[in-house]
Structure 1
Amino acid sequence: MDRMREGRATSLLDAGILRSTLKLNSIIAIPSSYAIQVRAAAKEPAESHDFVQIGAGFQGAISEQLGNPLAFKKEHPGNSQLRTSLENESALHTAVREAFDLYDSSINSQVQVPRLHGLIRSDKTENEAFWSNSLCKSPPEYQNRDLILKMDRILPLPKITRRALVNYFHPTADCQTAYNNPENKHCLVRTYLGTSKPCSAHFKPNNFSLRNFPLTLPHMSKDNLNLNTHLLAEKMG
């Protein structure tokens, strides 16, 4: 009985943390190990640091370079011939960004669409210095000249939120494994207001992933979490 009460109290605490840190316009004033690393990296040119993979999808892999405010999305081989190519994504993303810029004030939206900062192509002579410097600093599997899309870097959620996500959605004996997984430091949350189907790929017992963590309607409405989905939808316009 005591363990049940303890588990219930922990769940309530984690739900409270998630409600506070995932709500609109929340400000989390805590020490940041990422900020410390960035400040240390700023003492040297950004180009001197290695590229570190912080995410991957069916289009390509996303990397960061400490000291550089941008993220770099590198296209997977063969994707350039598909409808999901980075060329097409760039055009679509730009159209979305321009639409929000145009209508943002009239719909009272609080959506912040990351800006794109251009494509790095292999056939442009002005990019030769980038390729010469970056290839040796990339992971071995990405030491090629496939297309790269530069974009605003979206900062990961802080440790207090990451731990609460693990505790709340993965309350098992191996929570420590999820805490210690270095990939889970690159934690972004995706809110899916239009679907009630959970994404099982992120909830594997032996590999609980916080990368692009999916929050669907059932998750956001779960028990004592109860995020304000109506407000989220309203502020999206």
Structure 2
Amino acid sequence: MANIADEFRCIGKGFCGSVWASSQADEPAMKREDGGPGRSLRNDWDMHNIVRNAFTSLKNNFDNMIVPQPHVFITGEDMDWWNKNVSRFPVGFSPCNTLVSTRVPPLPKPVRERLVDRYCPPQLAPLIKTNRGDEDCVVRPYLGRRRIGQRVSRFQSFTLRNFPLHVDQMEDLGLNIFIYAAKLADALAIMHWVAGVDANDVEFVLASCPHQISSPLTSDFLGEHTLWILDFDCCPGMPMDLAGVEQAVAAFFRNDPFFPRPAATDARDQGLWRHFRAQYIRTSDEMLRDSSLKKLPELFIEHLEERGRELAMHKEKLSTD
């Protein structure tokens, strides 16, 4: 039996699988392929490496955006590894494909407590502040969604894992949403035109900084933090042509609302979209430079805005029927 200090505990779950780590903060995270059918951790590994290499090839220009370092892909048949480690998982867990990568460091306790004090139902706050699972706190920046007409459910729940901060909440907390919009635009441009992937279902989270970062993001509420980019199992390669543009447009609207939305009705969101659009074009131009592909980023934006208008008209029609 493994020593308690060496046991793995679950720090997250997704449709592709569960994520585990030991109690040692500097040890890596392990993503197991034990989720829904049709999801490929092998594809996650391949695309993760491609995206990581794309970002690291750009040196220090984008050092406040981090793709975790992928360390090793463990198959379910790698008995050398599993004989040493299977006992560190709970009883009943069997070998399966596992991706080992740098762990995303959670936000520190003072930030977690501020989130609880601000957003948690008061009767749940003492539990959340002492719950081990809620120490694994990262924030999802939802710049493409505002909370409207929020009603308090009598079936209340709360968790700090993958905590969503909608754009109105970010404004209320005094976060500079234009900085985050620019960072997300940079990240998307790099994935499209350096990594050559469509960014389908990729996750963006705000979390703590590693020690080596030179220019972290900072705010009074979140303190020093950075943008982490992860989860590439649904992320295929993208042809560098019109078909690839259409593929990237579809991926944009399938993803969670991290990015500002085209065809927004709120004036604040319209301004945020313009900022995102300009930064995406600027960074894409920098990535492609004299390439014959320089027209593709503008086509992507044009098609996004056209699709955004179509979706807005469809939504309006449904509301009037």
TM-score range, shorter chain: 0.5 to 0.7
TM-score by structure 2 length?
Answer: 0.50
The CA deviation at 1:131 is: 0.6
2:27, 2:102 within 8 Å by CA — same for their partners in 1? yes
Letter in 1 for 2:34: H
Per-residue CA distance 1:175-210 (angstroms, 9 max, x = gap): 112212221011111222233369x9xx99643100
In structure 2, C-alpha distance between the alignment counterparts of 1:48 and 1:166, rounded to whole Å: 28
Contact 1:184/1:211, CA 8 A, preserved across alignment: yes
Question: 1:53 Cα shift?
Answer: 1.2
How big is each residue's C-alpha offset from its partner over 1:101-122, in whole Å with a ceiling of 9 and x where there is no partner?
A: 234656x562111111121002
Q: Contact (CA 8 Å) 1:46, 1:66: kept in 2 or not?
A: no
| 1:102 corresponds to | 57
Q: What is the CA-CA distance between 1:56 and the residue it aligns to?
A: 1.1
Provide the rounded CA distance (Å) in 2 between the counterparts of 1:133 and 1:58. Answer: 27
1:72 maps to 2:72: no
Return closer, same or farther for 1:153/1:226 CA change in 2, 3 Å cut-off: same
> Using the alignment, how far apart are the partners of 1:205 and 1:187 within structure 2?
22
Q: Which residue is equivalent to 2:101?
A: 151
Q: Secondary structure at the match of 1:187?
A: coil
Give distance in 1, aligned partners of 2:51 and 2:166. 22
Match for 2:70 among 92, 95, 116?
A: 116
Instruction: Structure 2: state its 5+ residue gaps.
Output: 187-321
| Contact map agreement 2:124 2:158 (CA 8 A) in 1 | no
Higher relative contact order (CA 8 A, sep 6+): 1
1:129 Cα deviation from its structure 2 partner = 2.4
What CA deviation, in whole Å up to 9, does each residue of 1:84-105 have, x standing for no partner?
A: 3211222222222222223465
| Counterpart selection for 1:226 from 154, 163, 174 | 174
1:128 is aligned to 79
Helix, strand or coil for the counterpart of 1:63? strand
Size of the aligned set, in residue pairs, is 180
- RMSD after superposition: 2.9
Residue of structure 2 in register with 1:174 after alignment: 124
Dislocated runs of 4+, deviation >4 Å = 45-48
* Unmatched tracts of structure 1, length 5 or more: 1-44
- Distance in 2 separating the partners of 1:190 and 1:204: 25
TM-score scaled to structure 1, two decimals? 0.66
Given the alignment, which residue of 153, 163, 184 partners 2:113? 163
Residue of structure 1 aligned with 2:90, choices 136, 139, 155 = 139
1:20 corresponding residue in structure 2: none
Task: Check the 8 A contact 2:15/2:35 in 1, yes or no.
Answer: no
